[in-house]
């Protein structure tokens, strides 16, 4: 009885910390996205009278060689990265869900799905992403499609392993004996069980998608140079670092890492919520 009370008390304490951590991280992310909508257009425009100003209380991230406010540009870039990551992660998660459910229907389909997973994982991520983005003409559409079509294999492999375990359960065998189709079993028995892993995978795909979008944009294969994307900002700042304008790359780079870290914190804490003791070493 005492052990049960201790177990319940520990579970409640762990989950309180998890909820608090998720709420704080979510508030920061929502604040970044919402604040970008209130930025004045003048902050993003050229103002040569304010060019090359170092960070100060008036200009938190300083200004660039055209007098543009780096704080405003960074917020816009983070908001754009959020949108790209949201679309790419959603499409990747949808692809992973479809493939994992197809793998449960038939062995031959499962073999084809496994072959596709191995094929995509055998090629370096960034190479496939650049090829797809370049083939689709680059820009927002090319980047989103490239990210979506390259980030599903790892999640599909995790979901497929979960599907294989569920297929071996007794209630699935009973459903087959009662004449239920494999598609019915996939929708009514398998899908509800993999939804938690699916949601965690969706959240954890965000940081990967955001970082890869910034990487290929930095290399010149992503978003167009007219957009205030983080990759564009970092790429443009490289030519000015040798002149001492360190803030042009430092603050946008740190802001991107913070945003990615917040998504990672949310995803890991959601996973801890499903199994708090296992995730905390108990």
Residue 52 included in any domain: no
User: What are the start-end ranges of the E strands in 27-132?
Assistant: none
Distance of alpha carbon 67 from alpha carbon 74, whole angstroms:
14
CA distance 108 to 212: 33
Question: How many structural domains does the chain have?
Answer: 1
3-class DSSP state of 204: helix
Is 132 inside a domain boundary? yes
Backbone angles phi, psi at 120, to 5 degrees: -70, -35
Residue 229 lies in a domain: yes
Please report the pLDDT score of residue 105 as a whole number.
Answer: 77
Q: Each residue's pLDDT tens digit in the chain (282 positions)?
A: 545 565 566 666 777 888 888 888 888 888 888 888 888 777 777 878 888 888 888 788 888 888 888 888 898 888 888 888 889 989 999 999 988 888 877 788 888 888 888 888 888 878 888 888 888 877 888 888 888 888 888 889 888 888 888 887 888 888 878 877 777 887 888 888 888 888 888 888 888 888 888 888 888 887 877 788 888 888 888 888 878 888 888 889 898 888 888 888 888 887 777 665 544 433
Distance CA 89, CA 148 (A): 6
**For residue 213, which of 145, 157, 155, 264 has the smallest C-alpha distance?**
145
Q: Is residue 230 part of a domain?
A: yes
* Cβ atoms of 231 and 152 closer than 8 Å: no
Q: Does residue 61 form part of some domain?
A: no
What pLDDT was estimated at residue 95? 92
Boundaries of domain holding 271: 2-36+70-279
Task: Please report whether residue 41 resides in a domain.
Answer: no
On whether residue 137 sits in a domain, the answer given is yes
Residue 279: the pLDDT is 46
Q: At 120, which CATH number?
A: 1.10.3720.10
CA Rg value for the chain: 23
Q: What is the DSSP letter of 227?
A: S
Is residue 64 assigned to a domain?
Answer: no
């Amino acid at each position: 009885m005492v052990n049960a009370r201790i177990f319940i008390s520990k579970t409640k304490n762990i989950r309180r910390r998890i909820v608090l951590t998720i709420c704080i991280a979510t508030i920061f992310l929502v604040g970044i996205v919402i604040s970008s909508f209130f930025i004045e257009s003048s902050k993003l425009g050229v103002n040569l009278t304010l060019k090359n100003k170092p960070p100060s209380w008036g200009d938190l991230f300083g200004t660039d060689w055209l007098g543009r406010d780096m704080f405003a540009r960074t917020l816009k870039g983070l908001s754009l990265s959020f949108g790209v990551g949201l679309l790419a992660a959603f499409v990747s998660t949808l692809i992973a869900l479809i493939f994992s459910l197809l793998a449960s229907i038939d062995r031959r389909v499962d073999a084809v799905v496994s072959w596709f997973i191995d094929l995509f994982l055998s090629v370096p991520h960034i190479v496939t992403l650049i090829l797809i983005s370049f083939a689709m003409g680059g820009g927002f559409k090319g980047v989103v499609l490239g990210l979506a079509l390259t980030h599903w294999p790892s999640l599909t492999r995790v979901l497929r392993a979960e599907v294989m375990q569920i297929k071996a359960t007794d209630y699935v065998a009973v459903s087959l004996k009662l004449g239920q189709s494999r598609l019915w079993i996939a929708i009514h028995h398998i899908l509800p069980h993999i939804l938690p892993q699916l949601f965690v995978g969706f959240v954890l795909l965000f940081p990967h998608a955001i970082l890869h979008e910034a990487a290929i944009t930095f290399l010149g294969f992503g978003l167009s140079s007219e957009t205030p994307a983080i990759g564009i900002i970092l790429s443009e700042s490289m030519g000015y670092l040798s002149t001492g304008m360190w803030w042009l790359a430092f603050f946008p780079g740190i802001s991107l890492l913070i945003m990615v870290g917040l998504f990672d914190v949310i995803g890991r804490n959601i996973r801890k919520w499903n199994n708090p003791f296992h995730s905390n070493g108990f």
